[in-house]
Amino acid sequence: MDSLKLGPYEFSSRLILGTGKFSSSKVMLEAIRASGAELVTVALRRFNKAQAEDDLYGPLSGQRGITLMPNTSGAATAREAIRAAHISRELSGSPFVKVEIHPNPHHLMPDPIETWEACRVLAGEGFLVMPYIPADPVLAKRLEEVGCASVMPLGSAIGSGQGLSTAEMLRIIIRESNIPVIVDAGLRAPSEACAAMEMGCAAVLVNSAVAVASDPTAMASAFADAVKAGRRARQAGIMPRSGSAVATSPLTSFLGASS
């Protein structure tokens, strides 16, 4: 089976779904089912049993075949992210944590220094650490060295819908990494998820593109199909680019034989 391996865990789906921005828990759950996603990320602040309308943990925890990956969204420092990870593991029982540290609310870019420090500590404590990072090949390698289960470089800014604007850096990260590379953030259309998989990414994480679609369930299904198609194309071997035209049916020998 062509499974996504993260630490000792294996997943048949290479589409990871975020749970923010959905109009309701019902719509979110329908989209998750349509996507086939088995790994779903949820912010610690949405673990709120006191306010059912703001609680995502309850609806998600009862879903068969779904593994939760709590994230540290909202943390501005390594210390805050580490604390959030500890609380999340207590509440969810999940060994996964998506380390997400973006101190500036205006651009939401991940802080590379604080991210590295949080990942170093959490990986040493046995978490399966999945850091959201800028598309920085040096940082990606340093995070691999401290024991992260994957790296999750951004395709473009969170929620921007600008697609794979970091493609050239992503290619370097993929080439140099010995752990899964998962594109996280900025994807707008299923075609971009397909392109990320054709590039060699192990998986993609999508949230806004599904949650704010006119039909989130149909969009989730479209992303699932795109991820599968991109993975199959990568495995099949995509033809190389050529700087000039290359005839598909050369006629030289045929014409020579008939003259």
pLDDT computed for residue 254 by the predictor: 59
pLDDT at residue number 44: 76
| Terminal-to-terminal C-alpha distance of the chain | 54
| The pLDDT value given to residue 256 | 59
Per-residue confidence (pLDDT) for residue 42, from 0 to 100 = 86
pLDDT tens track for 129-138: 999 999 999 9
Question: Whole-angstrom Cα distance, residue 26 to residue 30?
Answer: 6
Whole-angstrom distance, CA of residue 35 vs CA of residue 216: 10
Beta carbons within 8 Å of 13's beta carbon, 6+ residues apart: 4, 35, 36, 37, 38, 39, 224, 227
Query: Rounded distance, CA 27 to CA 166, Å?
Result: 31
Residue 68 structural domain: 4-258
Sequence-distant (≥ 6) Cβ neighbours of residue 53 within 8 angstroms: none
Collect the ranges in the chain with pLDDT lower than 50: none
- Name the β-bridge partners of 203: 182
**Cα 13 from chain centroid (whole Å):** 12
Structurally, the chain folds into a number of domains equal to 1
**pTM for the model:** 0.88
Q: How far is CA 151 from CA 39, 54, 72, 204, in A?
A: 15, 29, 15, 11
> Helix (H, G, I), strand (E, B), or coil: what is residue 87?
helix
- In this structure, the strands spanning 203-206 and 15-18 are parallel
Predicted pLDDT at 82: 95
- Model pLDDT, residue 258: 55
Query: What confidence score (pLDDT) does residue 162 get?
Result: 86
pLDDT at position 128: 96
Active site residues: 98
pLDDT of residue 160: 85
CATH of the domain at 181: 3.20.20.70
Backbone angles phi, psi at 115, to 5 degrees: -65, -45
Q: Identify the pLDDT of residue 23.
A: 86
Q: What is the 3-state secondary structure (H, E, C) of 7-25?
A: CCEEECCCEEEECCCCCCH
